Amino acid sequence: MLAKKGNKPILVSIGYSSCHWCHVMERESFEDEATAKMMNDNFISIKIDREERPDLDHIYMDAVQAITGNGGWPLNVFLTPDGKPFYGGTYFPPQKAFNRPSWQEVLLGVSQAFKERRHEIEAQAENLTEHLTKANSFGISNNTDEDKIFSKEKVDETFRNLMQPADKEWGGFGRAPKFPQTFSIQFLLRYYYLTKNNEALQQAMLSIDKMIDGGIYDQIGGGFARYSTDAEWLAPHFEKMLYDNALLLSVISEAYQLTKNERYWEVIEQTVEFIEREMMHPDGGFYSALDADSEGEEGKFYVWRYEEVREILNQDAEIFCSFFDITLRGNWENKNILRRKMSEEKFCEERKISRDTLKKIIRAGQKKLLDYRSKRVHPGLDDKILLGWNALMNTALSKAFAATGNEKYKQLALGNMQFLLNSFITEGSDQLSHSWKERAAKFPAFLDDYAYLIQALIQLQEITGKTEYLLKAKQFTEFVTKKFSEEETGFFFYTSVEQSDVIVRKKEVYDGAQPSGNAVMADNLYHLSLYFDNSGWRERAVSIVTSLGNAIIHYPTSFGVWAVLFTELIFGTNEIAIIGENYTSIHKELLSAYIPYKILMCSGHESSLFPLLADKRAGYAPVLIYLCRNYACLHPVADAGSLLTLLNAEKSEN
């Protein structure tokens, strides 16, 4: 409105609280009086938090990438008065440098072009908007031939394509900077489970092991940084995001179920403790992020000088420093980022000390350094609470409980879910909000928010046996199909039909730093179709995956969540029902096992409300366990071991 009235272009700057270069540009340019005057005189200037308005960030990031070939934050984009992008970029320095014009030069150039070549600006904006609309269908084909897509050979091909960029020395995929790519690791774990392909398991474990031994993992306080700037996972970009920790916690919990590796248990425990200690609101929600910087310096809160550690740890310092690669010279910018360069077993063998002795030194040293570090100036906390990210952490806590049996994790998940359902919902409707802060929720929820929440509700039912979570998941799924659907394709838009302040309704299909809302909704539809015997939802999930099939098979690093569902649709899903009083111990035992492709329900008695619980009686045994496919069940067994034997037999037949 102001832009049209004043006939001025709009300047939108998008960033987020833990973005290092966002803070730099703010300090250098936005807080400079002369620069600020130039911005306000010539533009309608708007600052946006990308985490509060990811819908706008997605649109304008795509625009800038189309213009410049790259993207990032801060994202600075210039719009016509009706909101269409025509020019943009990322960080601009205060003076011309790094082959980049200065910010003031950009402002003057854009302002002059808008005044003198308005018709060219308008044409560029129209072309760019048309490009954004067409890009919505990228990767989606009209292929409806399921027989050509859904075969075990195609899963093998997906695996081979995923392994091409795999780093077989340091784990992960591709070169630096390296991101965790948890979806690819999850696919490898499941591929191994189904095929017993050792290469898949080795790459998955190598990736996890190198991350949890590296500097991307906080060896003192637990939790993971955003990504590593090097191939060895040593030097992270030190910001800690809630969603990264949720996704890593989920996949490490699955890895622990499969391998029973004691180190994975420790990392699960330390990461949850970090979340509780530093990222938890008293009401049960989880904050969004911790900055990379403190006192204006990246990583200052997390790194150590050799002399500092020796002074704090005294007689244990020599062994502790040797184990965590703390040296006088330092391993990063003359300081030390703690990392493990060898296993505890090998270290003890070389030093001729017992494992118990080393563990005591490690635990005592971690506690002392954590106490010391707590007195430093902390990185900034982004204390807004986002629905989708909280739902991802909720799922992670459910998975951590399943893997370890630690009741605290289940209680955290239950408390968090209660907070989300109380704080984010609009009274009298199924409309949810996206963001919550200072006891107020705002912005309509996006597809990802609903998709992740539905997924979390399904997981909560699995670990608690409480069917009200499934009913709530069904309720929200019906809302999403009504408000977010693209009827022609079966996919879902990122924004609801009622949101009118975007120039394009985006369809996000790629799995990036967070899972695609479309991928998670397809997974939700498929699993809920089994819980509720809803063939329409199953057919929709299959149709969506089919239309993306070629992209999933050929580019699995960009479609990791899709690849997991794609594999399940081919190999099938185990439907497990535990019926009878006092099922808790068997339920817990089954949860601790790695059974990735399943739906699981527990009840003291049969129930006609859910197909999986219908017409099943406990009989004379205290508890009976039914293993079914498409509701056709094998003869029930009475203990978890017998069920696992049945599952292995079923797997062998596949």
Residue 620, pLDDT above cutoff 60: no
Q: What is the pLDDT of residue 542?
A: 96
Q: 226: exposed, middle or buried (C-beta count within 10 Å: 0-12, 13-18, 19+)?
A: buried
Mean pLDDT across 469-480: 98
Domain-wise residue ranges, the chain = 2-135, 302-375, 574-653
Residues 6+ apart with CB under 8 A from 150: 546, 549, 566, 569, 570
Q: What is the pLDDT of residue 188?
A: 98
pLDDT-derived band at 622, boundaries 50, 70, 90: confident
pLDDT-derived band at 10, boundaries 50, 70, 90: very high
Q: What is the pLDDT of residue 242?
A: 98
Between 71 and 303, the higher pLDDT residue: 303
- Give per-residue burial for 169-185: e unless 16+ CB within 10 Å, then b: ebbbbeeeebebbbbbb
- Cα dihedral 409/398/395/554 (nearest 10): 130
Contacts 24+ apart (CB under 8 A), 533-539: 533/611, 533/631, 537/477
What value does the mean pLDDT of the chain take?
Answer: 94
CB atoms within 10 A of CB 585: 11
User: How far is the C-alpha of 642 from the C-alpha of 625, rounded, in Å?
Assistant: 9
User: How far is the C-alpha of 102 from the C-alpha of 119, rounded, in Å?
Assistant: 25
Residue 517, pLDDT above cutoff 70: yes
Q: Is the peptide bond before 177 cis (omega within 30 degrees of 0)?
A: yes
The yes or no reply on domain 2-135 and CATH 3.40.30.10 is yes
Please name every residue paired with 228 in a beta bridge, in sequence order, or none if there are none: 178, 236
pTM of the shown model: 0.94
Mean pLDDT across 230-236: 97
* Residue-wise pLDDT tens digits, 369-391: 999 999 999 999 999 999 999 99
- Give per-residue burial for 526-545: e unless 16+ CB within 10 Å, then b: bbbbbbbebeebbebbbbbb
* Residue-wise pLDDT tens digits, 558-609: 999 999 999 999 999 999 999 998 899 999 999 999 999 999 999 988 788 8
Q: What is the pLDDT of residue 368?
A: 98
User: How far is the C-alpha of 181 from the C-alpha of 168, rounded, in Å?
Assistant: 15
> Beta strand pairing status for 574-579 and 624-629?
antiparallel
Q: What is the pLDDT of residue 617?
A: 73
Q: What is the pLDDT of residue 616?
A: 81
Mean pLDDT across 386-404: 98
Percent of the chain with pLDDT over 70: 98
